[in-house]
Structure 1
Amino acid sequence: MFRRRMTALFTVMLLIFTFSGCTSFPHSEFSNAQKSYDSITDNCQLPAISSEDLSSKLVVSFIDVGQGDSIFIKTPSDKTMLIDAGTPEMGERVVNYIKKQGVRKIDVLVGTHPHTDHIGGLPEVIQNFDISKFYMPKVTTTTSAFENVLKAAKAKKLPIYVAKAGVTLYLGTEIEAKMLAPNSSYYEDLNNYSAVIKITYGDTAFLFTGDAEKESEREMLNENYNLKADVLKVGHHGSSSSSSWSFLKEVRPKYAVISCGKNNEYGHPHRETLEKLSELGITVYRTDECGTIVAVSDGKTVSFFRIK
């Protein structure tokens, strides 16, 4: 039965993926839990803002999906991108949030890597929106979450493009968007396959790192990429397996956003990560404390809000 199921899965993949040569191998989805650490400061008293006040700006919503990631981006020219969609249970929440912004089409959809807390909600998204381009890294797993993404994409006849360093994403003429990772074709840990995306608008920049860990961070540093960003989506929910000193010092963010679930079993964010961010004077926002966090750029400065 297992052999027949796997044969069917790989048949689906051959029909839908625009790349070939993927390999499947077992991975552990999560690192061991460590004791969590309270926030250094309370940054959750965010002013409210309505969707109507956000026109002609770059709006980045870090959607509260519990222990997972989902980031919705809307540009001044109304181009849209969604990076991840949390677990399967959070798919409807992500869809509803996007629809409330008056959006019916997603120009760029990215599944950073095939872990359930990142791609689990993607089938719901694919079913509810017109998608122009869909990216995932060139790696497979045997999870039902991954299989369901493939099935949803196949049903919509949506090809999957390879997410890798060097890929340029089109989000309008005023936005520069590029993938900086993954830089290798094989990693022992699935987290390091994470698509890392940098978006620049005017004098401001955002860096979204998925669950990229220190190995991927080291590769980006070795490639001498321009990693400087005003806002860093902290890797792997604030785990100590990410956010090396050298990486943080190169990015030099003013703000860091950590997406994690309240009282999660993994202890995210880890004490070590929070202490590094504090020592570097970085203002931290956490979805487990603040709920959905909205960062708004006018091309010169970045401000943080909550949606009314």
Structure 2
Amino acid sequence: MGYEVDFLGVGDESKSGDAIAIRFGNLHGGRDEQTVVVIDGGFKDTGAALVAHIKEHFGTDQVDIVINTHPDQDHINGLETVLDELDVKELWIHQPWEHNQGLAQHFKDGRVSDCSLGERLKQNLEKAWSLVQLAESKGVVIREPFTGEQDTSGTLKVLGPSLEYYESLIPDFEGMPERASITEAVQSIFDKAVAALKRFFATWGDDQINDEGVTSAKNNSSVITQLVIDGRRLLFTGDAGIQALEMAADQVDGCTSGAELKLMQIPHHGSKRNIGTTVLNRLIGHPVIQGESRGITAIASTAKEGEPKHPRKAVMNAFTHRGVGVLATRGNAILVNHDAPQREGWAYLEPEPYHFEYEDEEA
């Protein structure tokens, strides 16, 4: 079996997003021998580009599975167009309003109820709610992607989040009452602040990231999936943070397929708060000698003008000195394939060099 994985360019300016189109199976055969998957749809205007890309390069208007990793606008907004304009068989999406039993006990305000919190979640996550309604109106099968969920062939599998972990995150979603999440508040300040740039100097093998990074509850609820094809593991992370990735690593450790990691999506567009040294060592391995390669590609989905925030050079370096070839979309599409027909007009892209000196925000 072969695969084609297209990371579409999302974000003409500074706001990054995710839109990934995948097909796998016998790519030299007919559509009935292939599976087409979409992971996230970027912003609203990304949807049309995603639809056009699938029709042109995959030669089909049918999508077997659409996965929404989490309901942030840079991941979900374009999926409405995908469902409207393509024949989608299944939608994998979390429905937090269905997980409101006992939710009220997490808040001090005795006036809230499980029912009212369910309604609040529908309102706060209106895009997710409306996407589910659209899917239902079109007869699309809806599944919630928790750990262990997989396609009929077992090739595509969800590594996280577990149902229990997901439900533990819901009280800290944005817009929930009384229990304001410190993580959310801190991230909001970071995202809005304009930090001063500082020049950094890096030494090969020395991580300038750590295990202390925090991200929002909604980011940590991201669906983490893997494809295992011909002994190759492809890992897709959404905006998952360190805690969520550690749990996914537990699932990888328990796999018996013997598949070797060949492709990894760098979480949250290369944010420094979403990846740490320990989990990188678990998923990829410890740093290698300069010039040594593990034959792994890692890709960050970033806006055209997303730097220095997306991607962070320290994050790219951490992957590079583990023998990984790192790439960033920077508003352009990147294709990774195996046992697939050559695509005319697409050329080899050199991985980024190690950044021994770079400017970055101090935070």
Shorter chain as normaliser: what TM range?
A: 0.7 to 0.9
Distance of aligned partners of 1:215 and 1:295 in 2 relative to their CA distance in 1, 3 Å threshold: same
Alignment of 1:4-23 (within 5 A): none
Using the TM superposition, give the Cα deviation of residue 265 of structure 1 relative to its aligned residue in structure 2, in angstroms: 7.5
- Structure 1 unpaired stretches of 5+: 1-55
- Structure 2 unpaired stretches of 5+: 27-32, 98-120, 173-216, 285-293, 348-363
Between 161-170 and 131-140, the greater mean CA deviation after superposition: 131-140
Distance of aligned partners of 1:98 and 1:307 in 2 relative to their CA distance in 1, 3 Å threshold: farther
Distance of aligned partners of 1:158 and 1:230 in 2 relative to their CA distance in 1, 3 Å threshold: same
Q: Deviations over 1:210-245 (max 9, x none)?
A: 111111012223454449511101111111122222
1:258 matched to which residue of 2?
A: 300
Q: Deviations over 1:38-92 (max 9, x none)?
A: xxxxxxxxxxxxxxxxxx6311111112211111111122211111110112111
Residue 268 of structure 2 is aligned to residue 243 of structure 1: no
Normalising by the residue count of structure 1, what TM-score does the alignment of the two structures yield? 0.73
Cα RMSD (Å): 2.5
Distance of aligned partners of 1:143 and 1:258 in 2 relative to their CA distance in 1, 3 Å threshold: same
SS, match of residue 245 in structure 2: helix
- Which of 158, 161, 170 aligns to 2:143? It is 161
CA distance in 2, matches of 1:95, 1:277: 31
CA distance in 2, matches of 1:266, 1:190: 23
SS, match of residue 295 in structure 1: strand
1:203 matched to which residue of 2?
A: 231
Normalising by the residue count of structure 2, what TM-score does the alignment of the two structures yield? 0.62
1:135 matched to which residue of 2?
A: 92
Distance of aligned partners of 1:294 and 1:237 in 2 relative to their CA distance in 1, 3 Å threshold: same
1:119 matched to which residue of 2?
A: 76
SS, match of residue 230 in structure 1: strand
Amino acid across the alignment from 1:163 = P
Runs of 4+ in 1 over 6 A off after TM superposition: 303-306
CA distance in 1, matches of 2:40, 2:330: 17
Conserved in 2, the CA contact under 8 Å of 1:228 and 1:250?
no
CA distance in 1, matches of 2:39, 2:267: 13
CA distance in 2, matches of 1:123, 1:186: 28
CA distance in 2, matches of 1:305, 1:164: 38
Residue 115 of structure 2 is aligned to residue 74 of structure 1: no
- Which of 242, 246, 249 aligns to 1:214? It is 242
Amino acid across the alignment from 1:245 = T
1:179 matched to which residue of 2?
A: 158
Distance of aligned partners of 1:89 and 1:249 in 2 relative to their CA distance in 1, 3 Å threshold: same
Using the TM superposition, give the Cα deviation of residue 177 of structure 1 relative to its aligned residue in structure 2, in angstroms: 1.6
Q: Deviations over 1:103-150 (max 9, x none)?
A: 111111100111111111011000111111110124255144334423
CA distance in 1, matches of 2:254, 2:79: 29
CA distance in 2, matches of 1:166, 1:144: 27
Using the TM superposition, give the Cα deviation of residue 278 of structure 1 relative to its aligned residue in structure 2, in angstroms: 2.3
